[in-house]
């Protein structure tokens, strides 16, 4: 198990910045950019432990500047941050001053009521990501690599960072529209004695058949009851029929679920085989790459490899064509043999 960090920003108008993903790694791998299907403006950077740092924080503020500069209304931009040290470095703050970015750090231990991401986006993100991982586990993918993480996080991000969720986060924290009472109301605690849970009596003793044997037994039981039934209430028989029908429905639903599970397992197995067959290449050591930059590096490498192959093929053809021409054994000149050599004929004439 290893850490992956995400630096994420959102705007009060309901849009999110491209995620800034931090992996614990030394080199960027080609499969992150070939098979993940990430948007081109997402960024992947590397660190020794998968955590952020002052240098990574500085790269992120430049990332923030690029994606918000053209969408700024007015002169200044307000950036609300937590109190991490990477947001307080001199280089970070100097860049913000130069680019007219006003930073506002939240008090410690207050992000759960003051930060829009904590209030409205991170919980749906965690839930959606957990569902993606559960799907992998059900499909026997018990080892989640960085490539599986990227695939799962992409789907979870789309589900969680919607315009509605982002705006509700700013509204709940009293930022937009500005309403401090939304936060202050959480601080007014009212103690009360919890209501004891109501325990309901359960007189239901019927049992829905769970196996073929139980289904056969209950079917035979109903047949016997029908034979013995004479002018008595049909309630018990109806109940038995209902339980029998319910058991059949459960088995049918189970069959449908098993069929879907088999189909998902087959798809996951095929996907796993494709990934295992594909060779991982190191495309850059350290640093940060957007998905578009990673794809450009891979395309450039493919073009270089193709040119190298064509040059090597042309050279081999030239060597082959030269080797097919016969060389004279007397004078060593290409184009004739010793029998037709003029020097040999002159030598014979002299003799």
Domain ranges of the chain: 4-187, 212-227+236-277
Structural contact between residues 268 and 140, judged by C-beta atoms closer than 8 angstroms: yes
For the chain, the average pLDDT equals 81
Average pLDDT over residues 190-195: 67
Number of residues assigned to the chain: 351
Distant-in-sequence, close-in-space partners of 1: CB < 8 Å, separation ≥ 6: none
DSSP assignments along 51-115, one per residue: ---HHHHHHHHHHHHHHHGGG--SS-EEEEE---GGGSSHHHHHHHHHTTEEEEEPPTT-HHHH-
**In whole angstroms, how far apart are CA 201 and each of 184, 195, 204, 218?**
42, 18, 9, 26
Task: Check the CA dihedral 260-264-267-273 and report its sign.
Answer: negative
Both tokens of 78, joined, read 């307000």
Residue 81 or residue 192, greater confidence: 81
Q: Say if residue 268 is exposed, middle or buried (CB neighbours under 10 Å; 0-12, 13-18, 19+).
A: middle
Residue 190 or residue 90, greater confidence: 90
Q: Which residues pair with 7 in a beta bridge?
A: 20
Q: What is the pLDDT of residues 27-85, one digit of tens each?
A: 999 888 987 789 999 999 999 999 999 999 999 999 999 999 999 888 999 999 988 88
In the three-class reduction of DSSP (H, G, I as helix; E, B as strand; rest coil), residue 305 is classed as helix
Average pLDDT over residues 195-199: 63
Residue 200 or residue 289, greater confidence: 289
Q: What is the pLDDT of residues 240-253, one digit of tens each?
A: 777 777 777 777 77
Q: Fill in the DSSP letter of residue 120.
A: I
Q: Fill in the DSSP letter of residue 7.
A: E
- Rounded to whole angstroms, the Cα distance separating 314 from 308 reads 10
Q: Which of 105, 147, 93 is nearest to 274 (CA)?
A: 147
Q: pLDDT category, 312, cuts 50, 70, 90?
A: low
Q: pLDDT category, 207, cuts 50, 70, 90?
A: low
Q: pLDDT category, 234, cuts 50, 70, 90?
A: low
Residue carrying structure tokens 């499909």: 139
pTM beyond 0.75: the answer is: no
Both tokens of 163, joined, read 């315009």
pLDDT at 283 over 70: yes
**In whole angstroms, how far apart are CA 172 and each of 118, 156, 184?**
11, 22, 11
Q: Fill in the DSSP letter of residue 38.
A: -
Residue 124 or residue 112, greater confidence: 124
Q: What is the pLDDT of residues 164-189, one digit of tens each?
A: 999 999 999 999 999 998 888 877 66
State which of 84-88, 90-94, 222-226 shows the largest mean pLDDT: 90-94
Structural contact between residues 207 and 242, judged by C-beta atoms closer than 8 angstroms: no
Structural contact between residues 343 and 331, judged by C-beta atoms closer than 8 angstroms: yes
**If you classify domain 4-187 with CATH, what class do you get?**
alpha beta
pLDDT at residue 205 in the model = 41
Q: Please work out, in degrees rounded to the nearest 5, the angle formed at the alpha carbon of residue 110 by the alpha carbons of 106 and 111.
A: 75
Helix residue ranges, H only, 120-203: 122-138, 146-160, 163-172, 181-187
Q: Which of 6, 16, 84 is nearest to 45 (CA)?
A: 6
Q: pLDDT category, 202, cuts 50, 70, 90?
A: very low
């Amino acid at each position: 198990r290893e850490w992956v960090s995400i630096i994420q920003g959102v705007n009060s108008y309901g849009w999110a910045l491209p995620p800034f993903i931090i992996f614990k790694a030394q080199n960027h791998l080609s499969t992150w950019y070939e098979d993940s299907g990430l948007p081109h403006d997402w960024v992947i950077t590397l660190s020794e432990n998968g955590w952020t740092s002052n240098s990574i924080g500085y790269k992120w503020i430049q990332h923030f500047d690029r994606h918000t500069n053209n969408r700024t209304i007015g002169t200044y931009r307000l950036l609300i941050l937590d109190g991490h040290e990477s947001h307080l470095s001199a280089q970070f703050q100097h860049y913000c001053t130069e680019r007219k970015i006003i930073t506002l750090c939240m008090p410690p231990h207050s992000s759960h009521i003051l930060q829009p991401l904590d209030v409205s986006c991170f919980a749906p993100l965690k839930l959606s990501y957990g569902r993606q991982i559960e799907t992998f586990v059900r499909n026997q993918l018990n080892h989640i690599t960085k490539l599986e993480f990227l695939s799962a996080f992409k789907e979870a991000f789309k589900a969680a960072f919607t315009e509605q969720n982002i705006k509700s986060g700013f509204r709940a924290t009293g930022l937009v529209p500005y309403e401090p009472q939304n936060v202050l109301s959480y601080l007014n605690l009212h103690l009360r004695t919890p209501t004891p849970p109501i325990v309901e009596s359960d007189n239901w003793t019927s049992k829905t058949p769970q196996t073929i044997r139980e289904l056969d037994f209950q079917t035979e039981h109903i047949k016997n009851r029908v034979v013995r039934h004479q002018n008595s209430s049909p309630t018990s028989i109806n109940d038995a029929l209902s339980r029998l029908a319910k058991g059949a429905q459960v088995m049918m639903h189970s069959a449908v679920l098993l069929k879907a599970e088999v189909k998902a397992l087959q798809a996951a197995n095929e996907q796993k085989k494709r990934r295992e067959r594909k060779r991982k290449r190191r495309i850059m050591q350290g640093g940060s790459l957007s998905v578009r930059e990673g794809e450009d590096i891979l395309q450039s490498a493919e073009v270089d490899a193709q040119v190298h192959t064509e040059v090597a093929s042309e050279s081999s053809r030239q060597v082959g064509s030269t080797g097919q021409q016969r060389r004279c054994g007397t004078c060593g000149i290409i184009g004739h043999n010793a029998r037709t050599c003029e020097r040999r004929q002159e030598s014979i004439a002299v003799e």
